[in-house]
Structure 1
Amino acid sequence: MDAVTRLEHECAQAWPALVDERLGDWRMRAAGGFTGRANSTLTCGDPGVDFPMALRRAAGFAERNGIQPTAHVVMGSKADAAMSEHGWVVNLDHPGGAESLVMTGPLTPGTYEGARIDDQPSPGWWELAAGTEQPSAAQRHVLSSMPGVAYGLVEQDGEVVAAVRGAVVGDLLHIARLAVRPLHRRQGLAAGLLKTLYAWAEAKGATRQALQVAEHNIAAIRLYETLGCTEHHRYRYWIPC
């Protein structure tokens, strides 16, 4: 298994869909429409059937689970080169952006006054990280069903002003749902919270980090670069015409 495929599967393990069916090395995933990654077929590795059949199987899986057929495809891969030949197009209207970077880097642990790591998500964490204090079954499953998940937050005057989710898979810390309220940005909260999360992850055996970020989210990319992360590869979402 090459490094890109391995990393994509580690990230998928850290982001569990409600339904995750294997098609050879591919993962057909559905989670009630909550996030692109949890509602797409990860096309890394060998699907065990010819490519047109694999795409038909992926589309059929999506239709059975009530979601739009979507393929999560690493840019520059054999699958990426073949998608258009089989009637699929890049989903330029995808809510999270059609193209994303996967960034990786070392852990740089630290502390930040007011930051803490909880082992259960609080209502305030849900509200900031997921946009609701009453998450759906799909949101709960994706964000809180696996063991060993950290819910990092900074609270000021009784309000959660920064939040992040961290999940350790082997020696990898997977980072997601980083959010800071607009009035509290550019104050170092995000970097401080992440360094606090790194310390938690290091104690759990993690030695490296990975995250996915949309290409248009320049502020987030620059933040992670200051923490030692670099681009590992990119992926994009394809849908049938």
Structure 2
Amino acid sequence: MNPAENVELRCADAWRPVVEDKVGDWRLRAASGFTGRANSALAVGDPGMPFDQALARVCEFSHVHGIPPVVQTIVGSETEQALEAARWVPNTGHAAGHLVAVLLGPLGTGADGISFLPEPSPAWWELTAGTTAPSPAQRHVLTTGEVGYGVAEGTAGAVRTAIAGELLHVSRLAVRPEHRRRGLAKALMAASGSWAAERGATECVLQVAVDNAPALALYVALGFREHHRYRYWTPACEDRSS
């Protein structure tokens, strides 16, 4: 596999769905609709069967688990070209953005006022997931694996950290509006790097929608660079009314 595919697999390891199956190298994932990454087929590598049959398996798996058929694949890949030829289309209706930049950067070091909770608190859940009573799917996706629950100044800011091989996967970085422009996001990133280095990570990976300019500006300032992009695809004829 090429470097972009390897990074995608590590990111998938850090963001586990509730249900997962495989079609060759492809990963079929479902988590009751919580996030695109946990409810799509990660189409990297060889599906081990004709392409149209693999897409049919994606659709069958999705319908069984009550989610729309969606394929996540690397921009510019042969798989993406084959999806277009099969008359799938970019899933532009995806609320969080269907086109995503994957960034790699250095681990931060040190930060005062940041701590890591032994388990997520109600305030951590509220800031990172928008609820103090997470669903089983939310709890599974956000707590499975070697995961850290970072908080700043009580819970003025919060972040999810996860180890995937040599990579630190950072997600759900959030700062409350009344506490922004005080450097808390940078402090959370720095503390996340120290947390990950103690666990063997050597580099950090982030996934950011390409239209999220403030987040991209923050990460570029911290030394991150775009490694590749991925995009979500869906069947053009899919009935989304059910």
TM-score tier after normalising by the smaller chain length: over 0.9
Q: Determine if contact 2:108/2:192 at 8 Å carries over to the other structure.
A: no
C-alpha displacement of 1:227: 1.3
Q: Which residue of structure 2 aligns with residue 220 of structure 1?
A: 215
Q: Which residue of structure 1 aligns with residue 96 of structure 2?
A: 96
Q: Which residue of structure 1 aligns with residue 200 of structure 2?
A: 205
Q: Is the partner of 2:133 in helix, strand or coil?
A: coil
Q: What is the identity, as a one-letter code, of the residue corresponding to 1:153? A: V
Q: What is the identity, as a one-letter code, of the residue corresponding to 1:95? A: A
Which digits, 9 at most, give the CA deviation of each residue in 1:133-178, with x for residues without a partner?
Answer: 10000000000122x210001134xxx1111000011111001101
Q: Which residue of structure 2 aligns with residue 154 of structure 1?
A: 152
Q: Which residue of structure 1 aligns with residue 138 of structure 2?
A: 139
- Structure 1 segments (4+ residues) deviating >4 Å: none
TM-score, normalised to structure 1, is: 0.96
Q: What is the identity, as a one-letter code, of the residue corresponding to 2:209? A: A
> Pairwise CA RMSD of aligned residues?
0.9
Which digits, 9 at most, give the CA deviation of each residue in 1:176-218, with x for residues without a partner?
Answer: 1011111111110000011011111101111001010001111
Q: Is the partner of 1:216 in helix, strand or coil?
A: coil
Q: Return the alpha-carbon distance in structure 1 between the equivalents of residues 109 and 222 of structure 2.
A: 10
Q: Which residue of structure 2 aligns with residue 176 of structure 1?
A: 171
Q: Which residue of structure 2 aligns with residue 120 of structure 1?
A: 119
The total of aligned residue pairs comes to 236
Q: Which residue of structure 1 aligns with residue 35 of structure 2?
A: 35
Q: Which residue of structure 2 aligns with residue 167 of structure 1?
A: 162
Q: Determine if contact 1:119/1:149 at 8 Å carries over to the other structure.
A: no
Which digits, 9 at most, give the CA deviation of each residue in 1:52-89, with x for residues without a partner?
Answer: 11111111100000000000011000011111211211
Q: Which residue of structure 2 aligns with residue 26 of structure 1?
A: 26
Q: Is the partner of 1:135 in helix, strand or coil?
A: coil
Q: What is the identity, as a one-letter code, of the residue corresponding to 1:6? A: N
C-alpha displacement of 1:233: 0.3
Q: Which runs of 5+ in 2 are unaligned?
A: 237-242
Q: What is the identity, as a one-letter code, of the residue corresponding to 2:24? A: G
Q: Return the alpha-carbon distance in structure 2 between the equivalents of residues 195 and 110 of structure 1.
A: 6
In the alignment, is residue 76 of structure 1 matched against residue 76 of structure 2? yes
Q: Which runs of 5+ in 1 are unaligned?
A: none
Q: What is the identity, as a one-letter code, of the residue corresponding to 2:199? A: K
